[in-house]
Amino acid sequence: MSNVHTISAKTTLVGLIGWPVSHSVSPAMHNAAFDALGLDWRYVPLPVDPALPGAVGDAVRGMRAMGMRGVNVTVPHKQAVLPFLDRIAAAAQAMRAVNTVVVEADGSLTGDNTDAPGFIADLRAHGVEPAGQSVLVLGAGGSARAIVYGLAQAQARHVTIANRSSERASRLLDDLRPFLGATVVEVMALPDGARTIEADLIVNCTSLGMTPHQDTTPWPHDLPLHPGQIVYDLVYNPAETLLLRQARQHGARAIGGLGMLIWQGALAFERWTGQPAPVEVMRLAAEECLRRRAADSGQQCRQQPINVRRATPDDAAVISRLHSALQAYHAEAHPSFFKQPSAHTFPPTMVRDLLEKPSTVVFLAEMGGTEIGYLYADTMPAQETTMTYSLERLWIHHISVEPGFQRQGVGRALIDAAKSYARSQGIKTLALSVWAFNQAAIRFFEAQGFVMYNHRMWLQVDGATA
């Protein structure tokens, strides 16, 4: 493998043209992918000032002249590049917007749009098949155009576009009409439109909820969502939007927009390189980039303190709700094995019965007055067998932290509470079992001092008093 960090005359260049481009996670995502595959390629952000006369055309033509393999295009140039391309793929024609330019082997330029297939690929990666579904799309801007087109291509049964300005939604429908096939599409005004629709899938294509307006949501607070419904929020910064929290609180399934960003990038990567994209590598790089940016902008410094308390039977409903995050995680990792969470998975009645047992220990973690994670354990000693002594241990059955609050010390705070409890009871061992596929959990428990033995993880507690 060549040294991929050394840029030479042989290095193949791709990049991102837009204004501004400094916020983009695409360079991190693509460069990690090139490194993972040992490709001597680099992806560079290329700010193209819209105020400079002729800049967009010069940038597009210059790409061919400089032997680049292609670019991504972002706002405000997604339409402006169209006149400078030799060929426009069907998706980009329908959206009247290009997000990927490919320099073909003969030097001609093809404009494509990977947003719509990226969205559909991410839905399918989450085990959601849009064919035959009834979908409510909130918003009618550039991203809504891609989503509606993608849903029609994937043969959704019915799509309702609800936008603050219904004229903009009508324009979108008129533009997309030739591409809708058998999908029935209608338009409504937000927020009242949302009240009249019972959709299988709700997709937020508005910018409501996006940093720095994290306390906004397109979904009216008094309007219920149901278990079995899926809410997909295109907003990916923050990862956990208010809309996704609303969805979970009502038992609906919540999916954030980072996956779409990764898949649209993965599809561009494949167009340029002709190789399958290392999607997981790209995901990790994008997540890391967003985490670093949040830290740099002080978002982590503003993190509120984590408060951990012992749960009571009155907390049964909230624990039941928090459990769905754990099950959704497993269902996403192994959709053919784990079911999606439903109201019956860990119902409040079952949680209440467990909480009333003297051997049950449940800790709840709260931040800013909201419960965001829990740990459920029991203190029943393991029986003596012909091979082993009886063992006083705190057996951890579940530990779950809401997606938007992971990697912020909540899991550690819950484990610390369990350790303190064990110490106070003279219990010297914490133990748990973890699914072998769940490498992230194994790494987390190892970081807390657990060691793996016989497919279980064990932690010796220092200073137990009895």
Site residues, ligand NAP (CB under 6 A)? 115, 139-144, 163-165, 168, 190, 205-208, 210, 234-236, 257, 260-261, 264
What distance in Å separates the CA atoms of residue 149 and residue 421, rounded to the nearest whole number? 55
Q: Which is nearer to ligand NAP, 21 or 205 (CB)?
A: 205
Q: Which is nearer to ligand NAP, 169 or 306 (CB)?
A: 169
Nearest distance from residue 4's CB to ligand NAP, in Å? 26
Nearest distance from residue 456's CB to ligand NAP, in Å? 39
Q: Which is nearer to ligand NAP, 122 or 315 (CB)?
A: 122
70-73 and 100-103 beta bridge pairing: antiparallel
One-letter amino acid of 5: H
Q: Which is nearer to ligand NAP, 254 or 311 (CB)?
A: 254
| Catalytic (active site) residue 357 | no
Nearest distance from residue 381's CB to ligand NAP, in Å? 49
> Which residue in 78, 339, 357, 428 is the catalytic one?
78
Question: What tokens appear for 105 in the block?
Answer: 């082997």
Q: Given CA atoms 314, 318, 322, 328 in this order, what sign does their dihedral have? A: positive
Alpha-carbon distances, residue 38 vs 32, 300, 325, 343 (angstroms): 10, 34, 36, 46
Nearest distance from residue 34's CB to ligand NAP, in Å? 20
E strand or H helix at 246, and its extent?
A: helix 242-249
Q: Which is nearer to ligand NAP, 207 or 345 (CB)?
A: 207
81-85 own/partner pairs: CB under 8 Å, 24+ apart: 81/17, 81/56, 81/111, 82/111, 83/57, 84/56, 84/57, 84/60, 84/109, 85/60, 85/109, 85/110, 85/111
Q: Given CA atoms 236, 145, 204, 403 in this order, what sign does their dihedral have? A: negative
Nearest distance from residue 402's CB to ligand NAP, in Å? 20
Comparing every residue's Cβ against ligand NAP, the nearest one is 141
Alpha-carbon distances, residue 217 vs 210, 253, 296, 318, 408 (angstroms): 9, 16, 25, 22, 24
What are 109's strand-pairing partners? Answer: 103
Residues with catalytic roles? 78
